[in-house]
């Protein structure tokens, strides 16, 4: 008989909480990141919170716009959210004279999109000055206001809570300022992108308030694992054989690698094996160059986990 899965012995107060987007651009990649960090949990349909089965870590599924507030209010210790939301909230708090209680731990390699100004197909756009006197619909009023202020443009910001892209057709605005990733929403609504207001990607945020002592160890471990997962994306392990005399030339070719490991090959004179982790993409051209420098038996392997 199988032993039942062990539950981490931690009272609710010492369990870490991380907020992620309930459904949208960041959800799948956020869940993937957490499971690559070793977290096991089962998620029922419409379940708003999941209990980590093998770590004292619970996952809250919320609207992305609420994630900085949950960290701000200390309901969650950590959050995975787009820079677009982080920046909008930071500016909103700043405008109200409140210091934001969330800080970016690191940028993550997913959720890339842009906050853009887009105009209806027939709109004659000749630079940002064309926005003067126009009504601009957005769910990002603070970022948009900063963009306009930096260019000394007076325009009316129409704050909506969603469905921004239909505002021009409904006569509620002349142009919009909204997120674009594939561009299909703009195209479907006969809008065309004319300015990039902010480049965004996912980020890990945390409270700058010291995390309770009994949560610190798991916070440190989780942050290290997230960093490890991010580092292995794109990293490769290269193994090859080469004459010792070619080592300098080969080391120079290995992209973004730390000091390679050099191992003598038993009974093969001056030939050695070279092993190195490369933190950049490895293309066929590199393998050809390595071969040209004297390497043989070149192997490229994916890296599954890394702990610096
Ligand atoms: C954004 C934006 C568009 C869509 C654009 O919404 O409001 O609806 O993404 O994406 P596309 O260029 O790939 O068509 P999002 O999914 O972020 O939802 P939210 O603003 O409600 O969080
Ligand atoms: Zn949102």
At residue 9 the predicted structure's pLDDT band, cuts being 50, 70 and 90, is low
The residue range of the domain holding 227 is: 16-111+202-231
Look at residue 4 and tell me if it is in a domain: no
24 and 90 in a single domain? The answer is: yes
Task: Say how far apart CA 117 and CA 125 lie, in whole Å.
Answer: 11
Is pLDDT at 146 greater than 70 in this prediction? Answer: yes
308 within a domain of the structure (yes/no): no
> Is residue 143, in this structure, part of any structural domain at all?
yes
Q: In a mutational test of the pocket of ligand 1, which residue from 23, 179, 192 has the highest number of ligand atoms less than 8 Å from its CB?
A: 179
* Pairing mode, strands 78-82 and 202-206: antiparallel
For the whole prediction, is pTM greater than 0.75?
yes
What is the per-residue pLDDT for 1? 45
Domain count, the chain: 3
Which tens digits make up the pLDDT trace of 16-73? 999 999 999 999 999 999 999 999 988 877 789 999 999 999 999 999 999 999 999 9
Q: What percent of the chain has pLDDT over 90?
A: 79
Q: How far apart are CA 59 and CA 76, in angstroms?
A: 9
CATH of the domain at 145: 3.40.190.10
Residue 269 Ramachandran class (φ > 0 left, ψ -120 to 50 alpha, else beta): left
Side-chain-side CA neighbours of residue 65 (13 Å): 6
Asked whether residue 27 is domain-assigned, the answer is yes
Give the Cα separation of 236 and 286 in Å (integer).
13
Q: The dihedral of CA 164, 168, 171, 175: what is its sign?
A: positive
Query: Is 289 found in the same domain as 207?
Result: no
Atom of ligand 1 nearest to the CA of 185: 14
First to last CA, the chain: 38
Nearest listed ligand to the Cα of residue 66: 2
Over the stretch 281-292, which tens digit does the pLDDT of each residue have? 788 999 999 999
pLDDT tens track for 218-241: 999 999 999 999 988 878 999 999
Q: 292 and 166 share a domain? A: no
pLDDT-wise least confident of 76-90, 145-159, 265-279 = 265-279
Structure tokens, 293: 């420098």
3-state secondary structure of 176: strand
- Locate the ligand 1 atom nearest the alpha carbon of residue 162 and give its number: 21
């Amino acid at each position: 008989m199988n032993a039942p899965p062990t539950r981490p012995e931690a009272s609710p107060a010492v369990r870490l909480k991380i907020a992620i987007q309930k459904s949208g651009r960041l959800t799948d990649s956020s869940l993937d990141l957490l499971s690559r960090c070793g977290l096991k949990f089962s998620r029922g349909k419409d379940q708003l919170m999941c209990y980590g089965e093998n770590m004292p870590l619970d996952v809250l599924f919320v609207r992305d716009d609420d994630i900085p507030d949950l960290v701000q209010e200390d309901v969650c210790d950590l959050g995975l959210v787009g820079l677009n939301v982080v920046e909008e909230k930071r500016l909103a708090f700043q405008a109200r004279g409140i210091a934001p209680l969330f800080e970016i731990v690191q940028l993550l390699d997913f959720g890339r999109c842009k906050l853009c100004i887009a105009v209806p197909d027939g709109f004659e756009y000749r630079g940002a000055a064309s926005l003067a006197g126009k009504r601009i619909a957005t769910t990002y009023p603070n970022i948009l206001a900063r963009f306009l202020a930096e260019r000394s443009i007076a325009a009316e910001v129409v704050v909506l809570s969603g469905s921004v892209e239909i505002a021009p057709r409904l006569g509620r605005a002349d142009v919009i300022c909204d997120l674009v990733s594939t561009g299909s929403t703009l195209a479907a609504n006969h809008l065309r992108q004319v300015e990039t207001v902010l480049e965004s990607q996912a980020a890990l945020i945390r409270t700058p308030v010291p995390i309770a002592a009994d949560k610190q160890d798991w916070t440190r471990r989780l942050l290290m694992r997230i960093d490890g997962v991010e580092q292995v994306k794109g990293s490769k392990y290269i193994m090859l054989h080469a004459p010792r005399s070619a080592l300098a030339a080969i080391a120079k070719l290995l992209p973004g690698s730390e000091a390679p490991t050099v191992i003598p090959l038993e009974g093969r004179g001056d030939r050695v094996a070279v092993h190195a982790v490369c933190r950049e993409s490895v293309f066929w051209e590199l393998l050809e160059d390595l071969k040209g420098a004297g390497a043989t038996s070149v192997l490229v392997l994916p890296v599954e986990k890394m702990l610096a």
